[in-house]
Amino acid sequence: MASYNRVILLGNMTRDVELRYTQGGTAVTDIGLAVNDRRKSQTGEWVDETTFVDVTLWGRTAEVASEYLSKGSPVLVEGRLKLDTWETEGQKRSKLRVVCDRMQMLGSGGGSGGGHREVGGDEHSFHEPSHHSAAPSNPASAERAGGDDFSDPNIPF
């Protein structure tokens, strides 16, 4: 039987990154991610629900997270689920976590333009966003924003 283990999460960091290294010199960190979900209850009211997820980052991805991310930072992670099991004082314990394969930092990063930084994948490289000005996608709304009265009978809205 085939199986597929893939997770994509978008949330905010719950704590600052604490980078450490294995005996072999590989960087590793565990981050906490708060993922919010909004749904309607049976009474019709909107209810916010937060899920807290532990995510493990390895190698260059862990180093970049340590350098650029802090508590509250928005981040997108892609990876796989892993179940850890252990025994403490005769009690079996388990914990489900995400092992990150790719991370994308979201937000402005303190610069003047928005953007994102992506880390991970096969090449484990760090990608800076290219910043360029884009023309408005809707000329009609650009004209209206400028104060000119614009009407075109061919626009269906």
Residue 151 forms part of a structural domain: no
pTM of the model: 0.66
Q: Consecutive 10-residue runs of the chain (157 residues): their mean pLDDT?
A: 95 95 96 94 92 96 94 96 94 95 80 48 40 39 42 53
pLDDT value of position 111: 42
Residue 29 forms part of a structural domain: yes
pLDDT value of position 79: 97
118-143 residues labelled b (16+ CB within 10 A) or e (exposed): bbbeeeeebeeeeeeeeeeeeeeeee
Residue 55 forms part of a structural domain: yes
For residue 78, what are the domain limits? Answer: 7-131
Residue 139 forms part of a structural domain: no
pLDDT value of position 13: 95
Whole-angstrom Cα distance, residue 148 to residue 143? 6
Look up the CATH number of the domain holding residue 15: 2.40.50.140
Q: Around 63, how many Cα atoms within 13 Å sit in the side-chain half-sphere?
A: 11
Residue 103 forms part of a structural domain: yes
pLDDT value of position 131: 37
Number of domains in the chain: 1
pLDDT value of position 1: 87
pLDDT value of position 19: 95
Residue 12 forms part of a structural domain: yes
